[in-house]
Amino acid sequence: MTHYLITGGAGFIGSHLADALIEQGHEVTIIDDLSTGRFSNIQHLVDHPNFHFAIDTITNVVVLDRLASMCDVIIHLAAAVGVRLIVENPVHTIETNVMGTEAVLKVALRYRAKVLLASTSEVYGKGNRLPFKEDDDVLLGPTIHNRWAYAASKMIDEFLGLAYYQEKGLPVVVFRLFNTVGPRQTGRYGMVIPRFVQQALNNEPITVYGDGKQQRSFTWVGDVVEALTNLAENPAAVGKVFNIGHQKEISIYDLAKLIKKLTGSQSEIKLIPYEEAYADAANFEDMQRRLPDIGKISKQIGYQPSIDLEEILKNVIAYHKE
């Protein structure tokens, strides 16, 4: 039995990961300040003898140290998430991502815990060589655009994690997520699928930002969780960076149409200019495409997405109907 510490463990991905690890017979501790996570996501685990939790921030080093001292593996998911939060709260974004990761790596080194470090497709910036490979060059936008603060902060996280591996021998694995979706995800911070689904089910206008031609790929949370548990148990993954995503793309406008069809909604699909969507739209830049190359992780642990977008959407719609 391995003892895992999940930072951000009451969040969307973290809570699903906790479920899976408990089911596999492991011991799980989570820490979450509930800024974007929800206690209801882990409520069902509270009485389980192998589950422990602390409602606190990872920058509380006393609490983090106590939790880490009992753990073998730390899966670091705590971060500022969602485009809206990132654009409108840049100080919180930078501080949470950089200082939080530094705190986790320091405490992991103290107790020689393995670290799985969450990163993002955003680090590929304005790259147009598709699909994105882990060793591609990166082109970011100017510092006056808050969007890039998030990308840069996650790049610092990666640099820091890999430096701890290279210089101090700490076992670190970096993984870059591409639009993970599933039950428990909220549309509160700009997450597109739960937002569209809620609008469609309420027969409200489905609000597509920009021209809707921007394309994204979406990954089932269960596939991400399985990838993380496999990476955690794979010694040869240490010191490497992996994309975790799906290779099928859809435009955001077509996504809205598909959700409208699957929900049987009467909603109109409405294009909203970025100036109306974001309070600080002058500092916002959107990316046209975000498509991962998953060859590396496939070779390492046999990762392949198990379900396609339509099935993902049906699951999410069922969850929101409940």
The residues assigned a catalytic role are 150
Question: 282 has which bridge partners?
Answer: none
Find all residues with CB under 8 Å of 220, minimum gap 6, and list them: 180, 181, 182, 246, 305, 306, 307, 311, 312, 315
Which residues contact residue 22 at a Cβ distance below 8 angstroms, ignoring those fewer than 6 apart? 28, 45, 48, 50, 51
Mutual orientation of helices 252-263 and 192-201 as an angle, nearest 10°?
40
Q: Which residues pair with 125 in a beta bridge?
A: 139
Q: In the chain, how long is the greatest CA-to-CA distance? A: 58
Q: How many CA within 13 A on the CB side of residue 14?
A: 33
Q: Residue 100 in contact with residue 79, Cβ under 8 Å?
A: yes
What is the rounded CA–CA span in Å between residue 91 and residue 47? 37
Write the burial class of residue 299 (CB in 10 Å: 0-12 exposed, 13-18 middle, 19+ buried).
exposed
Closest CA to 289 of 247, 242, 227: 247
Distance between CA 146 and CA 142 in Å, rounded? Answer: 9
AA letter at 222: G
